[in-house]
């Protein structure tokens, strides 16, 4: 599957009318948080569902009548919080958790996830790296590769040294910046392991949280990798 690395960028009031909704990878503009979705004719694959606001009307149009598979990198609220508002009808019909966070979290989050069943089958086109040991929630992040897109959750540089030598990185063309562009992720050495990288995306709010960090922006600039920020452009639609 090839990606045309021009993002069809839309603000919340601008519809995408000239692209089939069955062939999209979307980075949702949710403020500080992460929610990305791959849409095909039968299913929606959601990689984390967190943020400060949620595009439910747009997601409903694309995904309500399809199977919804949810992959969660770790327990942080800005990666799982949207599940608290997940429409009940979808959950009962065709929604399942394909990947749960490692370890335990607050009783509120544990109870939230207990209301969802596990998917019976995994999606073959997704590769998953899971840390063997971790001292905090960010370090517990699963790292996912979907086709040629890398989604490292909030995996910090201390964990990057373990997964960057794997086959996750060599052909990656689109990077969802780790920890929303924090300086604690996306190290120089990690970027060197991505020779095919063509674009990076920060799903964050610079105006409030300072992400993406200037150091990360400088690293990408040295590598000549364009950076898109959902804060500036809104929802980012990539045609598959």
pLDDT digits (tens, 9 = 90+) for 177-207: 999 889 999 999 999 999 999 999 998 777 7
Q: What is the mean pLDDT of residues 148-165?
A: 94
Please determine, for residue 213, whether its predicted confidence score (pLDDT) is greater than 80. Answer: yes
Cα distance from N-terminal residue to C-terminal residue, the chain: 7
Number of domains in the chain: 1
* Residue 12 belongs to some domain of the structure: no
- What are the tokens at 122? 């995994």
* Residue 3 belongs to some domain of the structure: no
Please determine, for residue 12, whether its predicted confidence score (pLDDT) is greater than 50. Answer: no
How far is 155 from 148, CA to CA, in rounded Å?
18
* Residue 9 belongs to some domain of the structure: no
pLDDT of residue 180: 87
pLDDT of residue 92: 67
C-alpha distance from residue 7 to each of 53, 66, 67, 235 (Å) = 21, 24, 25, 10
Where residue 171 sits, what CATH number does that domain have?
3.60.15.10
* Residue 184 belongs to some domain of the structure: yes
User: Domain range holding 184?
Assistant: 20-239
Q: What is the mean pLDDT of residues 83-111?
A: 89
pLDDT of residue 125: 85
* Residue 1 belongs to some domain of the structure: no
pLDDT of residue 185: 94
* 124 or 43, greater pLDDT: 43
* Residue 11 belongs to some domain of the structure: no
Confidence of residue 240 (pLDDT cuts 50, 70, 90): low
| Element housing 47 (H / E) | strand 43-49
In tens, the pLDDT along 113-152 reads 998 999 987 777 899 999 987 788 899 999 999 999 999 9
For the residues of 171-196, what is the DSSP string, one character each?
Answer: T--EEE-GGGG-TTSS-HHHHHT-TT
* Residue 13 belongs to some domain of the structure: no
* Residue 92 belongs to some domain of the structure: yes
């Amino acid at each position: 599957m090839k990606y045309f690395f021009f993002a069809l960028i839309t603000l919340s009031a601008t519809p995408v009318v000239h692209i089939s909704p069955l062939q999209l990878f979307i980075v949702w503009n949710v403020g500080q948080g992460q929610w990305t979705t791959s849409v095909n004719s039968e299913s929606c694959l959601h990689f984390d569902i967190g943020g400060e606001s949620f595009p439910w009307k747009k997601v409903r149009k694309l995904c309500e009548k399809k199977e919804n598979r949810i992959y969660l990198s770790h327990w942080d609220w800005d990666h799982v919080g949207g599940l608290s508002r997940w429409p009940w009808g979808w959950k009962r019909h065709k929604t399942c958790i394909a990947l749960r966070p490692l370890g335990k979290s607050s009783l509120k989050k544990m109870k939230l996830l207990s209301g969802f069943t596990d998917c019976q089958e995994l999606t073959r086109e997704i590769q998953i790296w899971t840390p063997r040991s971790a001292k905090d929630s960010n370090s517990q992040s699963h790292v996912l590769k979907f086709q040629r897109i890398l989604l490292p959750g909030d995996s910090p540089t201390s964990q990057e040294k373990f997964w960057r030598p794997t086959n996750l990185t060599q052909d990656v063309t689109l990077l969802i910046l780790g920890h929303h562009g924090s300086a604690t992720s996306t190290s120089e050495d990690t970027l060197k392991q991505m020779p095919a990288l063509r674009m990076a995306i920060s799903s964050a709010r610079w105006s409030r949280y300072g992400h993406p960090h200037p150091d990360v922006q400088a690293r990408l600039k040295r590598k000549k990798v364009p950076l898109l920020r959902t804060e500036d452009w809104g929802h980012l639609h990539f045609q598959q």
